[in-house]
Chains A and B, each alone.
Chain A
Amino acid sequence: MALADHLIFLPVLLPLLAGIVLLLPPFHDNLERQRPFVMAVNLALLLVAALLLGKALQAPSVYLLGNWQPPFGILLVADQLASLMLVLTAILAMTTHWYASAGDDGRGPFFQPLFMFQVMGINGAFLTADAFNLFVFFEVLLIASYALLIHGGGKHRTQAAVHYVLLNLIGSAFFLIGLGILYASFGTLNLPDMAEKASQLSPDNVILAKAGGLLLLLVFGLKSAMLPLHFWLVRTYSMTSAPVAALFAIMTKVGIYSIWRVHTAVFGDQAGALSGLASDWLWVLGILTIAVGAIAALASQTLKTLTANLVVVSAGTLLISIAIGTPEAMGAAIYYLLHSTLMTAALFLLAGMIQEQRGQAQDRFVRAKPLPQAVPLGIAFFVVAMAVVGMPPLSGFLGKVWLLQASADSVHVAWVWSAILLSGLVALVVFSRAGTSIFWRVQGQAGAEIKAHNLQWLALSSLLMLAVLMVVFAGPITELSNSAAEELFNGLTLSQVVEVQP
């Protein structure tokens, strides 16, 4: 096995080792040393992810942990979708880490190592092709997120963390029960192997497998803020510090990604009696999620709550695309996912900067002193708002139009179009209100000269640049997301895995 074949494991291994090194001298108590170290690791992760994506365009790379023969051992697969998500994670981690390095990381101990463990869990969840290993990486990313969530302390964060942690622990119990049922009916937890066996299950096992699959949908729905399970999200995301909330922008997408991996790939069209297991539910739940998220966005009193509610709306939009269940819809969803992750992160970072400059008023929509840096922050706010609402010429417009186009042939087209378009209108209304009250409803003189740190500007402006770049390079990106969707729908079977494996 050539050394380059081990590349696929680096997105998990690098942050793990980096996290451990950060806990040891000479790094453990020196933020000045930790920051450049983590920046270098993030850069390396981006490089590795880009290399993997390059490789995945030719053929998916497959890695057998411990060289156990599939389906018995754990399998890592870096196909186009997984590598694309790795690139997205690396970009998001890099920018949010820049922002955090401007001072937020010093508000409590262990921010930097926890950040690395968080990235490790997310990367692992994207790479693994084994359902139980997916559970393990979920736990890794969750336990890091529990600690990051309360980073900086405070009453409200502790309270949000209690809900978040308890809900996710119950979710983990359901996840395990679902996995147990699936193992009992399939006899394997290897996802490509399950996809192959799905059509050959005996009739009495089919019912079991359905129960297991729906239990997993419940768990992934909890992670991705599907309607009745989204109540934790708004409080959690709006209470935590800005860089952590921005990094969490990818966490709901981990849930969506898992639904793709399990419900689109395993319970897909090839699955016989099991096919389309989730889509009947996802139609209704997706549309209702958008509706509830949009109504809650209208009622939001702070910029962070508003952003968190828009996360719920975007989760609903993605759920609908899964329900449509065609490769075109999924291609559109991948593009929309990239856009919404980056823009949510930008909005959270922006909210953090506004909060710092407004003193007592924080990010609430109330009359307050003018912002010291109102003009650059205002421009940034305008750009992000345009992108999130879905106005041309930014990335949100393309994502939404493509999604609408992909849903044109589906039976529920009227519902889908009205939900997506109305949620865009709601976003327009709430952003106008937010912008007016933060930037224009001012009284008195600007307070002391609080200037945002250069690293904060760097983080925010690179995220905004990406919204523009996603339009400039829309051609190649849409091509890539289409072929990633095609690849997922065609499905990687176990026999192919063994072939690919040198």
Chain B
Amino acid sequence: METVYAICVGVLTTGGVYLVMRSHTFSVVLGLTLLSYAVNLFLFASGRLVVNQPAILGQSANPADPLPQALVLTAIVIGFAMTAFALILALRARSDLGNDQVDGRVRDDVLNKRKKSQGE
């Protein structure tokens, strides 16, 4: 189970990091969402993975750790709010700046290529 879990976190992080480095705001927001999924899974595992055990002391010999569950809950709520804010900001930037680039302007070489293809 640990291997599968680790692979899941790794794949999500890889995808998140790749998307975060894109130049379009929407991809970056998607990347942040993937990253926050990976982070939530990771936090959950930080209390060690235990299957089929209650999170209460005294009811079993090897109880699940309740604290990471509480941490994940907090992280989910905060991540959700922040993603919503980032999306609204991306929309605002789209209308204020006239494009959806993170840097607020289209790169010159991309612009030239676009002009050339329109000219043809």
Contacts and interface: CB of A to CB of B under 8 A. Distances in A.
A180 B42 contact: yes
A173 B35 contact: yes
B13 to A, nearest CB: 9
B108 interface: no
Contacts of A150: 89, 92
Interface residues of B, number: 36
A173 B78 contact: no
Contacts of B102: 162-163, 166
B5 interface: no
Nearest to A170: B20
Interface in B72-91: 74-75, 78-79, 81-83, 85-86, 89-90
B82 A181 contact: no
B82 A176 contact: no
Contacts, number: 90
A173 B97 contact: no
A351 to B, nearest CB: 23
Contacts of A159: 93, 96-97, 103-104
Chain A's interface: helix, strand, loop or mixed, by majority? helix
B46 A173 contact: no
B39 A176 contact: yes
Interface in A148-181: 150, 154-155, 158-159, 161-163, 165-166, 169-170, 172-173, 176-177, 179-181
Interface size class of A (residues with CB under 8 A): 20 to 34
Nearest to A153: B96
Contact of B93 (A158, A179, A181): A158
B43 A166 contact: no
Interface of B: 16, 20, 25, 28, 32, 35-36, 38-39, 42-43, 45-48, 67-68, 71, 74-75, 78-79, 81-83, 85-86, 89-90, 92-93, 96-97, 102-104
11 contacts: A132-B71, A143-B85, A155-B96, A158-B93, A159-B104, A165-B85, A166-B20, A166-B28, A173-B38, A173-B39, A176-B42
Interface of A: 72, 132, 136, 139, 143, 146, 150, 154-155, 158-159, 161-163, 165-166, 169-170, 172-173, 176-177, 179-181, 183-184, 189
